[in-house]
Every structure is written in C-alpha cells, then in structure tokens.
Homo-oligomer: A and B are copies of this chain.
Amino acid sequence: MPQLRKDPIVGRWVIISTERAKRPRDYNLSSVQSQNGAFCPFCPGNEGTTPPEVMAYRDRGSPPNGPGWRLRVIPNKFPALMIEGGLDREGEGLYDIMNGVGAHEVIIESPHHHKSFSELDQREMENVIWSFRDRIIDLKRDSRFRYILVFKNRGAAAGASLEHTHCQLIALPIVPTNVREELAGSRSYYDLKERCIFCDIVHQELKDGSRVVLENEDILVVCPFAPKFPFEMWVLPKNHNAFFEDSKENEFKNLAQAMSLAFRKLDKALNHPPYNFILHTSPINDKSTTYYHWHFEIMPTLTRVAGFEWGSGFYINHTPPEDSAKFLRELEV
C-alpha cells in the first residue's frame, strides 16, 4: 500500500510508493525513446493487456474490453494510489502518515494511435469532456474521496510515458494543497467584494482584450496576467459555476470547440510542444459554490523549473502574456 506522508513544516503531502521501490539504477536519466512501432496497450485489439475498463463509449452491442469503443476509461496499471482499503491515519513522532487510498484512471481519448489531442474532431473532443464529467459524478459517490483531479501529460518532457493520446484522473482522500490555496484566495476575494474573482477576471480580460486568445458564446481562452510559464493559457467558462460536472450541455459543446481551437493554435505556434493541462474544479461536497469557478489551465513545458523556482515559488517568464496571446490570437489554424 502506498503511503501518504505530510511534510511537517509546510503541510505538503507526498505519495511514497513502498511496493515498487526504486533503487538508483532504476532512474533512467536519458530521455524517453520514441515509441514508433512499439506495442501500444491503448490501441484497439490490445484491450486484454490493460486492467478491465471502468467505462467506455462504445458502438451499440460491442462487448466491454474488446474493440468497438470510441473512448475508453481504465484503471492505471501502475497506480499512484490504491482503490482498496481505509485511510488508517497515524502519527510517527511529529510526522503524519495515512494509507495511499485513491483511484487512478486513464482516459484513452480515441482508438487512433496517431491522432493527437488537437487533432480530435468536435465529436471526439466532446466525448473527452463528457468522460471527465461522467467519471467525476461516479467517483463522487465514494465517501472516502475529497477531490478528483483530471489532467493531461503530453510528451515525455511533460511526464507522459505513452504517446497514444490520453488523460488521467486521480481521486484523492484529501483536498490537495494547490486546490486549497486557490479556494482560500478566491474565498478571501469574495469576502472582500462579494464577487467571484474569476468572474471579475473574465470581465476585465474581455474589456481589455490584450490577453484574449479566443472566445465563443460560453468560453473565454486567455493568457493569464501572471503566467508561470510562456504560452500558458486558461480556459474559463463565462458563466459562473463552481463545479465542472454541473455545466450545461451547450457549455460542454462550446468548451470542446474552444479547446480544439486553443490546442491547434498551441501545436502550430510551438511545433507540437510537450504540455500539461489541469482541470481546476471544486472539491466534492464543497461549499465553494459562490466564490469558486471551474476552469482549465494549460501549461506548455518549454522551460525547466530550476533552483530559483523551487526555492521561491516565483516563476521567471520570458514571454509577456500580451505577446503570447497576440501571437496565438492571430495564428490561423
């Protein structure tokens, strides 16, 4: 069973895998090889090599764990957290430990091995978005979980170990530090102004225009005012909503359209860069309805995080967001 351990000073949790403990020689310090021609467990026909599927969008009548799917969700074969067991909180002197209980799933977005995320068509992109919603709604029913984190690693430099396009989802027994910080920040803004800070950002960015990448009826894509990384983008719903899974059908449709366009622009601007994106949404059963506002953050991996960033929590960004927004906005795709 993996352990959750808490840093006693700053309260940051880490997951310590105790089962497949790595020795020094297990860390591959060279870069990940291209996987051209290698066996892909995410391709149709290889369903038997993955853990049994949790959910799939399938052709009518096709049986589970065989071909015929358009999107497939499976447990991660090497999960960071284990689905079985209780939390078993305990202390060890001044330290805190609990069992690494959680769900770790993989969303295989398309049966086509060579399609990248930005190449998904409108229908496929909508499937991806609906799968986030469907998995969140299902996992919320497990009372051990406090937060469901949906994210994507694309490219080896961004942490992906397989190239077949996929997202991941981790259900956690605690609300993670970064989410708590965002909730606290937006809560204190609300307490001061009685307005949602993200709604204010949407209004100010639409009025100003200089950081807008694209928009449609429901969705705004901007380069944020204080981006950690060059070409970082935030995807915000224009209407206030704390919980991603409560969005309306029309919002998901427009989200799919905006995401497709944003990633096509990103891929063209930076020649298919490695990146991460993360869904920021409210914790399960949270009371954040009035002050929080779900959104996606997209972070291209163009630079290295180094000593200054680790030590300070500051980031140094050599591309002003006004420049990257203008570049992306004007790029034809």
Contact = CB atoms under 8 A, between A and B. Distances in A.
Interface of A: 3, 5-18, 20-24, 26-27, 29, 31, 80, 92-95, 147, 149, 151-153, 156-160, 168, 170, 172, 176-179, 181-182, 185-186, 189, 197-198, 200-201, 204, 208, 224-228, 230-231, 269-271, 273-274, 276-280, 297, 299, 302-308, 310-321, 323, 327
A38 B234 CA distance: 41
Given A29-B273, A31-B31, A149-B308, A15 B317 contact: yes
A151 to B, nearest CB: 3
A237 to B, nearest CB: 16
Contacts of A310: 151, 178, 276, 278, 297, 299
Nearest to A175: B312
B27 A270 contact: yes
B95 A177 contact: no
A303 B14 contact: no
Contact of A269 (B24, B307, B315): B24
A308 B10 contact: no
B17 A312 contact: no
Contacts of A280: 311
A271 B226 contact: no
B307 A276 contact: yes
A305 B159 CA distance: 7
Given A278-B311, A310-B299, A314-B12, A197 B94 contact: yes
A280 B7 CA distance: 15
Contact of A226 (B5, B153, B299, B306): B5
Nearest to A170: B308
A95 to B, nearest CB: 5
A31 B307 CA distance: 18
Nearest to A172: B312
Contacts of A316: 14-15, 17, 80
A240 to B, nearest CB: 15
Given A7-B224, A177-B313, A271-B29, A24 B327 contact: yes
Contacts of A321: 16
12 contacts: A5-B225, A8-B185, A10-B182, A17-B320, A22-B319, A24-B327, A29-B157, A151-B308, A151-B310, A151-B311, A158-B306, A159-B305
